[in-house]
């Protein structure tokens, strides 16, 4: 206390001594403030972008869990790939792989990879097939070595796992490690995506490039306008992989531009457009990354390498048209792929994604405002856009899709990201509601258990999955394609080996007929070389050539036939199933049907009738024997017996166009014109391009004086089959009846030249 009075003067003295310095400092600061006001304004960081950190104290533990799961899922995916079958399109890709190896090995001298008519494979990038082609060449493996396909499948599995990994990393980037763990589990437990990961070398590499580039975009723009060349390279390589797989990868250029634009506007606002330097940096990223991606992609794409700035876009245009049209089973009807309804992809998606994805994705739409407020808005919006836009673009363009939505597989990872965001956000909403939170955990466990069980039970072909909401695969059977790529052919062959039908000790050479010849030959052709032969045989003509065993997947059967319960038929000795639903049938050859076919080819109809009758007595569910029996009776003038045989065929396979046609012919020749017309019209309803049915309708209309109707159906006949001579003759007869003999002569003359 005694010293206290002495302190006050010191403090005052101290303040006094500091004042001049302070004034001096103010004199220096004032000019700076003036300069600052005249300096071009730089947009300040938008406070709206401030979000709570997604990091937590438990992150080191979560990271270990994530890493452990990743290792387990990688090993399991590779194991599944090693045991899986090949897909029906591998016939084209295996050949393309050989052409690519030859092209690069000869430094472009071998040009076979530059134009491939079958499958138009030159329009596809060759990354996957080049890498696996050189790997197989280094290992001394050829196309019909089973190990050749093991190499391809394991590489496919690694790519599929990486797609799962980058999907999880994107979710982690947005919402933290817990979201990443959930996303990784969701991806692995998605049967369709996992199934394609072990055997689809087109759509899975494309999906990896798609999701990896979006992940690196999220990281690159996180710190913009700062620049990280490693992250920019990650974006470029992801885009390059997509483009080097399919020309549709150019969509990522648009997504990159969208991401850059949204990121700039959310950080700088419209006023930031005056900041030329920052605008230039964003633009340079988009342009530079896109150019690098294109240049890297064409290195793995010989056709694009010939003209890097034109040929890739030619390929893109070709894919948008997708000239290849096939018949597909959809909603119980076999329709052409260019005649599917507008909601075809949406129907397939909701029926085949797991319930956790369906519920989570729809839930994310409901919680979108909360997601945008809780997490960085741009990656959330871009992930949603990347999931939704391609689907609606395909619908808008009325693009042709084959067998489900595999061409849109690449949107699935971003759907899962959105689903995971929904569940982790819902968990945080319920954090104070103990019962609600535990209810969420139980619901999630049940949601992942169902597809996990399906994968465990059908590990060789999990891509055949349908979710419980759609009724599962049992309800899909006969209404939608199941094993449309014939992957289960491998399990049929393995059964034949287990039964000793195929072995190194086979006493005689065996012939196997199948509608998926490459799938079969690829696995056992080399193994039993000289002891085994394969013939390609369409399902609806399977007895026209002799064979010892037949392997026939459900792919080429009509929906009504499958739903009738008559397939697999009584000739089947083994069936490969998924959850009890038939995927492929193994039939035993020999018997009366083959003798009957030989007699039929010789037009020995009485002998053929005898043998076909013996066949249907032993196998009354053999629809082809009934059909040929009807044909024999038509050719011998026994039209009532022909109608009876056609009726029996239609019991086995309802709405079969051949059965309808021959019953119509039998009724027409029996004088039942109304019944015949009904059958021909029904055949056209089932198969709109059935040219011969149009001709017989024209004949019926001509006979009842409906000349215009007859002419209309003649034109339809010739549009579908321009070389059908009876239609020209009927047309000429109508013209003669109208007095136009000159035109009739011209028509007959043209027909004679066909």
pLDDT tens for each residue of 613-667 = 999 999 999 999 999 999 999 999 999 999 999 999 999 999 999 999 999 999 9
Cα 631-479-676 angle, rounded to 5 deg: 30
Fold of 595-752: 1.25.40
**Helix (H), strand (E), coil (C) string for 474-492:** HHHECCECCCCCCCCHHHH
Give the DSSP letter of residue 338: G
pLDDT at position 123: 92
Express each pLDDT in 510-533 by its tens digit: 999 999 999 999 999 899 988 999
Tokens of 212: 């990896």
Cα 181-184-188 angle, rounded to 5 deg: 145
**HSE of 322, CA atoms in CB hemisphere, 13 A:** 18
Cα 263-264-268 angle, rounded to 5 deg: 125
The neighbouring-strand residues paired with 551 are: 514, 586
Which runs of consecutive H residues, i.e. helices, occur in 564-672?
A: 592-601, 605-618, 623-635, 639-652, 657-669
Q: What is the mean pLDDT of the chain?
A: 92
Burial class (CB in 10 A: 0-12, 13-18, 19+), 333: middle
CB of 346 within 8 A of CB of 496? Answer: no
**Spatial distance between the Cα atoms of 423 and 436, rounded to a whole number of angstroms:** 12
How many H helices and E strands in the chain? Answer: 33, 7
CB of 475 within 8 A of CB of 581? Answer: no
* Mean pLDDT score, 702-709: 94
| pLDDT(316) > 60 | yes
* Mean pLDDT score, 276-300: 95
Closest CA to 696 of 715, 710, 682: 710
| pLDDT(350) > 60 | yes
Q: In the sheet where 532-536 sits, what is the strand order?
A: 532-536, 510-514, 549-553, 581-588, 572-578
pLDDT at position 18: 43
Neighbours of 669 (CB within 10 A): 15
Tokens of 538: 């369409």
* DSSP letter string, 358-376: HHHHHHHHHTHHHHHHHS-
**Spatial distance between the Cα atoms of 663 and 634, rounded to a whole number of angstroms:** 9
Tokens of 152: 């391809």
Domain boundaries, given as residue ranges, for the chain: 59-463, 489-588, 595-752
Closest CA to 704 of 674, 741, 663, 664: 674
Lowest average pLDDT, out of 249-258, 306-315, 542-551, goes to 306-315
**Spatial distance between the Cα atoms of 608 and 602, rounded to a whole number of angstroms:** 9
**Spatial distance between the Cα atoms of 171 and 421, rounded to a whole number of angstroms:** 7
CB of 159 within 8 A of CB of 205? Answer: yes
Task: Give just the sign of the alpha carbon dihedral 388, 390, 393, 397.
Answer: negative
**Spatial distance between the Cα atoms of 550 and 255, rounded to a whole number of angstroms:** 48
Which runs of consecutive H residues, i.e. helices, occur in 551-604?
A: 559-563, 592-601
Burial class (CB in 10 A: 0-12, 13-18, 19+), 508: exposed
E strand or H helix that includes residue 536: strand 532-536
How far does the chain reach from its first CA to its final CA, in angstroms? Answer: 127
Cα 118-119-121 angle, rounded to 5 deg: 105
CB of 387 within 8 A of CB of 483? Answer: no
Cα dist from 376 to 46, 170, 174, 417, whole Å: 12, 12, 7, 14
**Spatial distance between the Cα atoms of 713 and 727, rounded to a whole number of angstroms:** 9
**Spatial distance between the Cα atoms of 4 and 186, rounded to a whole number of angstroms:** 73
Cα 677-681-685 angle, rounded to 5 deg: 170
Tokens of 194: 């996992």
pLDDT at position 369: 95
Phi, psi of 484 (to 5 degrees): -70, -15
Express each pLDDT in 397-440 by its tens digit: 888 888 899 999 999 999 999 999 999 999 999 988 989 999 99
Residues 337-367: b if buried by 16+ CB within 10 A, e if exposed: beebeeebbebbbbbbbbbbbbbbbebbeeb
Closest CA to 115 of 315, 324, 317, 316: 315
Express each pLDDT in 144-160 by its tens digit: 999 999 999 999 999 99
pLDDT at position 8: 42
Burial class (CB in 10 A: 0-12, 13-18, 19+), 156: buried
Q: What is the separation of C-alpha 398 from the centre of its chain, rounded to a whole number of angstroms? A: 16
| pLDDT(670) > 80 | yes
* DSSP letter string, 387-437: HHHHHHHHHHHT----STTGGGGGGHHHHHHHHHHHHHHHHHHTTT-HHHH
- Cis peptide preceding 568, ω within 30 of 0: yes
Lowest average pLDDT, out of 312-321, 325-334, 419-428, 466-475, goes to 312-321
Express each pLDDT in 17-59 by its tens digit: 444 444 444 444 445 544 444 444 544 556 666 777 888 889 9
Express each pLDDT in 590-607 by its tens digit: 999 999 999 999 999 999
């Amino acid at each position: 206390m005694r010293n206290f009075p002495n302190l006050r003067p010191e403090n005052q003295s101290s303040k006094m001594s500091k004042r001049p310095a302070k004034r001096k400092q103010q004199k220096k600061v004032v000019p700076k403030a003036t300069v600052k006001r005249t300096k071009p304004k730089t947009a300040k960081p938008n406070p709206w972008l401030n979000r709570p950190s997604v990091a937590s104290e438990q992150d080191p533990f979560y990271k270990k869990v994530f890493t452990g799961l990743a290792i387990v899922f990688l090993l399991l995916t590779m194991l599944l790939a090693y045991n899986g079958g090949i897909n029906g399109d591998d016939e084209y890709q295996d050949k393309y792989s050989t052409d690519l190896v030859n092209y690069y090995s000869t430094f472009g001298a071998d040009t076979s990879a530059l134009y491939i008519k079958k499958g138009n494979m030159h329009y596809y990038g060759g990354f996957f097939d080049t890498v696996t082609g050189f790997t197989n060449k280094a290992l001394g493996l050829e196309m019909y070595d089973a190990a050749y396909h093991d190499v391809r499948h394991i590489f496919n599995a690694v790519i599929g796992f990486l797609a799962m990994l980058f999907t999880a990393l994107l979710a982690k980037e947005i919402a933290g490690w817990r979201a990443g763990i959930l996303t990784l589990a969701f991806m692995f437990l998605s049967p369709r995506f996992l199934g394609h990961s072990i055997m689809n070398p087109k759509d899975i590499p494309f999906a990896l490039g798609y999701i990896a580039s979006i992940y690196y975009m999220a990281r690159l723009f996180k710190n913009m306008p700062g620049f990280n060349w490693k992250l920019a390279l990650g974006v470029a390589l992801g885009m390059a992989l997509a483009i080097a797989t399919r020309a549709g990868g150019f969509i990522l250029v648009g997504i990159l531009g969208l991401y850059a634009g949204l990121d700039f506007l959310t950080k700088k606002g419209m006023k930031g457009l005056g900041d030329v330097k920052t605008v230039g940096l964003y633009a340079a990223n988009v342009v530079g990354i896109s150019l690098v991606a294109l240049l890297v992609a064409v290195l793995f794409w010989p056709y694009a390498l010939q003209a890097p700035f034109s040929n890739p876009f030619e390929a893109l245009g070709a894919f948008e048209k997708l000239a290849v049209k096939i018949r597909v089973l959809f909603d119980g009807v076999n329709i052409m792929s260019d005649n599917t309804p507008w909601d075809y992809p949406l129907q397939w998606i909701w029926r085949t994604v797991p319930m956790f994805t369906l519920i989570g994705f729809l839930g994310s739409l409901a919680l979108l405002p909360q997601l945008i407020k809780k997490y960085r808005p741009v990656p959330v919006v871009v992930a949603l856009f990347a999931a939704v836009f391609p689907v609606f673009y395909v619908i808008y363009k009325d693009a042709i899709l084959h067998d489900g939505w595999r061409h849109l597989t690449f949107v699935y990872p971003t759907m899962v990201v959105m689903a995971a965001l929904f569940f982790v956000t819902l968990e945080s909403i319920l954090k104070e509601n103990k019962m609600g939170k535990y209810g969420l955990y139980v619901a999630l466990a049940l949601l992942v258990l169902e597809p996990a069980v399906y994968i465990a039970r059908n590990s060789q072909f999990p891509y055949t999955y349908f979710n419980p909401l759609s009724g599962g695969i049992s309800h899909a059977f006969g209404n939608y394609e199941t094993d449309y790529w014939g992957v289960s052919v491998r399990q049929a062959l393995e059964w034949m080996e287990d039964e000793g039908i195929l072995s190194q000790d086979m006493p005689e050479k065996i012939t196997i007929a199948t509608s998926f010849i490459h799938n079969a030959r690829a696995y056992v052709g080399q193994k039993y070389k000289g002891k085994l032969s394969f013939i390609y045989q369409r399902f609806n003509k399977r007895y026209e050539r002799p064979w010892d065993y037949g392997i026939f997947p459900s792919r080429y059967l009509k929906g009504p036939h499958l739903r009738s319960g008559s397939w697999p038929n009584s000739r089947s000795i083994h069936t490969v199933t998924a959850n009890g639903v038939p995927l492929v049938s193994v039939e035993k050859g020999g018997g009366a049907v083959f003798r009957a076919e030989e007699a039929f080819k010789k037009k020995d109809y009485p002998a053929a009738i005898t043998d076909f009758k013996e066949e249907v007595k032993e196998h009354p569910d053999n629809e082809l024997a009934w059909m040929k029996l009807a044909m024999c009776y038509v050719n011998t003038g026994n039209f009532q017996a022909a109608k009876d045989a056609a009726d029996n065929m239609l019991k086995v396979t309802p709405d079969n166009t051949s059965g309808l046609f021959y019953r119509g012919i039998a009724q027409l020749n029996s004088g039942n014109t109304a019944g015949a017309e009904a059958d021909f019209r029904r055949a056209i309803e089932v198969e709109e391009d059935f040219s011969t049915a149009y001709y017989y309708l024209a004949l019926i209309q001509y006979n009842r004086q409906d000349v215009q109707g007859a002419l209309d159906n003649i034109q339809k006949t010739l549009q579908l089959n321009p070389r059908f001579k009876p239609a020209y003759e009927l047309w000429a007869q109508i013209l003669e009846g109208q007095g136009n003999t000159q035109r009739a002569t011209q028509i007959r003359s043209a027909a004679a030249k066909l």
